Structure 1
Amino acid sequence: MDEHAFSSSVIQRIVTAAARFSSFRDATDAVQMTGVHISENQVRRLAHEVGRELIAARDQKVVEHRRRQLEPRTAVVPEAVVVEIDGGRIRTRAADAGPGVHQAQNKEDKVACLATLSGPAFAADPCPEPPESFRCPRRVQRLVQLMKGSAGEAAAQENPDEPTPPVPLVGESEGSERWSPKRLVRTCVASLETSASFGPMMGAEAQERHFYEAPRRAFVADGSAYNWSIHRGYFGTFEPIVDFLHAVCYVFSSATAVSADETSGWSQYLVWMRACWQGRVGDVLTELDHWQERLGESPPGEAQTAEERRDPRRVVAQARSYLGNNRDRMAYPRYRREGLPTTSSLVESLVGEVNARVKSKQKHWNRPAGAESILQLRAAVLSQDDRMSRFFAERPGCPFRKQDTLCHESEDVPAQTAA
């Protein structure tokens, strides 16, 4: 059937399926089960067509944001907000090179989570002692093994089919009153573009949601330099917070490296982790400096083997560098008092949801466009502001196009995403 014969509502159903299911084949089967006769190639063409329209709309908003012409799409100024950023890797191939995979490369897909929050501020630190989740050996070891930021070792070879690691739920299920803020409405920005282009996309999304006017604002990320370049360029008024989970990985690995056995390593980890939790990062750095003097300087160059990556001199040097570069973003007791998050678990989870569509051993996306259009569809269906329905309501040719596009979303509960 000719794509032009489909109504706007049917096209929305088709491209939403292409974004929700793990492949175009699965999406085609799902759409056909609703009585729509369509081929896999038609689903693919429609998905990329609408994805390119979303890219154009996104880029236009970036231009308007830079010109200070972008109007908010919500009438609500939230009380507290957080912007979190992370990234992953997807497989790509050269386009127009014939059947099969040619010139395979891994490309970074950047993902940002922008969420409104609910929760009080406190007169004193509501959780001065680390939660049990950071004092359970099995959970911490599992966390360190699965997080790519594992200190003392280069990032392990990625398994594209491996799910996002579960992270400790800070402030929950600890037998005490919840202190961490609760997520309300989440929206998503995703792209293969460079950080220089991704920052303006995040800024435009924040502007549309009144994030810059919120009384309490946080920007949470790991220690990657480009994250903090985006923070300085577009979120300088947001409280900079380095993800506590990544700090835990560096502390655990360095404690293990300098200790004679597993028991003493765990004891050292608890001391250093507790110091970081309580904002005493300087104490940890002082002890790491002493260990570096005792062990000697880290060998020059990058580690080539697993044994070299486990060299205690190298592990300690990496922990010193990470904690030293980020110590001003590790005032965790103050962040907890202000009711702000201290981990990037929101975006870590979101990256896993994005990767469920664009990443697997069998998927190789054409360069340069490839997955970019599908990332826009995926970001739209993962955003909790009904943006896919709004996009189709405003899409040229839609008989139900509305004149007033201001979204009066409630920030109390997430809006339903398009079905």
Structure 2
Amino acid sequence: MSRVGISESQVRRLAHKVGAELVAERDRKAVEHRRRQLASRTGVVPEVVVVEVDGGRIRTRAAGAAPGVHEAQNKEDKIAGLATLKGPTFAADPCPEPPESFLCPRRVQRLVSQMKGHSGRDDTQETPDESTTAGVEPIATGSAGRWSPEKLVRTCVASLGSSCSFGPLVAAEAQERHFYEARRRAFVADGAAYNWSIHEGYFRDFEPVVDLLHVLCYVYSSARAVGGDESGGWRQYEAWMRSCWKGRVAEVLVELDGWHERLGESPAGEARTAEDRRDPRRLVAEARCYLRNNEKRMDYPRYRREGLPTTSSLVESLVGEFSARVKGKQKHWNRPDGAESILQLRAAVLSEDDRLSRYFTDRSGSPFRKRQPVEKDDTPNTQTAA
């Protein structure tokens, strides 16, 4: 057993050094992808793939300042999970009725509580203040048996950058894993506008799927707002949720339009108090906006028939795994380099392809790295011995 002491500051310096090297390698691959020079790192073309995008929150501080936290800001860390899947296709909808989990009031209430950070607006800020859907509990597929595809290997990409800079990073990872050649491809995310700008720019040939769990939250909140009492709100939720499950979102929108006419316009401005957030006019307006903007990405019966995922639970659990390491009241990462390097190191740890081990093996100075043979000079030695 080694008795060599390693200080906390030394570990921190080494972690950020390795993280910075991983950032440089990640960015290099994005450039090679743009130049069409990036080679795939595997020879196997997967059958089914999914790209899921979501965001967490990370506390940052100004770099180069005195000790302590200066100019603290909450930043969004964009995270993408890229997974290969396996599963069959079906001639008919393998699960035409919602699972029991969607019909259990306690479970649905817990789910909505976990996802309470959803805002209902597609103009999501790049640096929002609160956590959203990290750690959401997956919902079972119900009594019809397993119909959703199973995950094989998941890798991930993370960055504090904007959607414009994040898209090429995700596209490079997808190219390296032959995602663009897969026969069945899906892109799953919530309704945030920047998610779909990434889809439009880099994954246009992937089936766009808006996360069903976010849809459930909007339906539940608006149904409770117009249902009168608790039992009435639940009955309305069940009716609207079944319609969305069966791909009949247009029916829900007709009813929401009717409620909008009866209740009137939503109050202008942001909701600043709990009472503002519970205003039925606001909740109905948010649900109408969300469902109408994403109606074309809500053909859930067809997605189930094609063996594609309908929720972004893979990336949402990934956000929770990132947050467990990088998020905390006393954790503030230097902005931007310190935060970016630790996110990249975390992404390497959480990717299921042993990339961090391979990186250390190939890293310059590694005792396991194969030494390159020294090239000999073919010029004859003309010196004579003294």
| TM-score in same-fold range (> 0.5) | yes
Amino acid of the structure 2 residue aligned with 1:285: L
Deviation, 1:95, is 1.8
Cα deviations by residue, 1:224-273 (Å, 9 ceiling, x for unpaired): 00000000000000000000000000000000001110000000000000
Stretches of structure 2 lacking an aligned partner (at least 5 in a row) = 372-386
| SS class of match (1:185) | strand
Partners of 2:308 and 2:280 in 1: CA distance: 34
Partners of 2:129 and 2:197 in 1: CA distance: 27
Amino acid of the structure 2 residue aligned with 1:137: P
Partners of 1:400 and 1:103 in 2: CA distance: 43
The range that moved more, 142-151 or 91-100, is 142-151
Which of these two proteins has the greater Rg computed from alpha carbons?
Answer: 2
TM-score (norm 1): 0.84
Answering whether residue 9 of structure 2 is matched by residue 41 of structure 1, we say yes
2:59 counterpart (69, 86, 91):
91
Deviation, 1:399, is 4.5
2:203 counterpart (235, 244, 247):
235
Deviation, 1:37, is 2.4
Q: Is the 8 A contact 1:152 1:253 kept in 2?
A: no
Partners of 2:12 and 2:170 in 1: CA distance: 27
Give the match for residue 327 of structure 1: 295
2:263 counterpart (271, 291, 295):
295
Answering whether residue 148 of structure 2 is matched by residue 180 of structure 1, we say yes
The range that moved more, 88-97 or 358-367, is 88-97
Give the match for residue 191 of structure 1: 159
Cα deviations by residue, 1:321-363 (Å, 9 ceiling, x for unpaired): 0000000000000000000000000000000001111000110
Deviation, 1:150, is 4.2
Give the match for residue 168 of structure 1: 139
| SS class of match (1:93) | strand
Partners of 1:308 and 1:191 in 2: CA distance: 33
| SS class of match (1:370) | helix
1:20-419 alignment runs, 5 A limit: 35-150=3-118, 158=130, 164-169=135-140, 171=141, 174-401=142-369
Q: Is the 8 A contact 1:254 1:312 kept in 2?
A: yes
Amino acid of the structure 2 residue aligned with 1:290: G
Partners of 1:243 and 1:163 in 2: CA distance: 14
Deviation, 1:390, is 1.5
Give the match for residue 382 of structure 2: none
**How many equivalent pairs are there?**
368
Deviation, 1:138, is 0.4
Amino acid of the structure 2 residue aligned with 1:55: V
Partners of 2:293 and 2:279 in 1: CA distance: 21
Deviation, 1:216, is 0.2
Deviation, 1:163, is 6.7
TM-score (norm 2): 0.91
Amino acid of the structure 1 residue aligned with 2:95: C
Q: Is the 8 A contact 2:79 2:158 kept in 1?
A: yes
Stretches of structure 1 lacking an aligned partner (at least 5 in a row) = 1-32, 404-419
Change (3 A) 1:230 1:150: closer
The range that moved more, 37-46 or 241-250, is 37-46
Q: Is the 8 A contact 1:151 1:250 kept in 2?
A: no
Q: Is the 8 A contact 2:74 2:129 kept in 1?
A: no
Q: Is the 8 A contact 1:206 1:212 kept in 2?
A: yes
Deviation, 1:98, is 1.2
Q: Is the 8 A contact 2:244 2:252 kept in 1?
A: yes
Partners of 1:187 and 1:370 in 2: CA distance: 22
Q: Is the 8 A contact 1:152 1:316 kept in 2?
A: no
Deviation, 1:149, is 4.5
Partners of 2:267 and 2:84 in 1: CA distance: 45
Deviation, 1:36, is 4.2
Q: Is the 8 A contact 2:57 2:131 kept in 1?
A: no
Amino acid of the structure 2 residue aligned with 1:256: R
Deviation, 1:35, is 4.5
Identity of counterpart residues, as a percentage?
A: 72
Amino acid of the structure 1 residue aligned with 2:38: L
Deviation, 1:152, is 7.0
| SS class of match (2:337) | coil
Partners of 2:115 and 2:99 in 1: CA distance: 19
Partners of 1:85 and 1:251 in 2: CA distance: 22
Deviation, 1:393, is 2.4
| SS class of match (2:143) | coil
| SS class of match (2:53) | strand
Give the match for residue 379 of structure 2: none
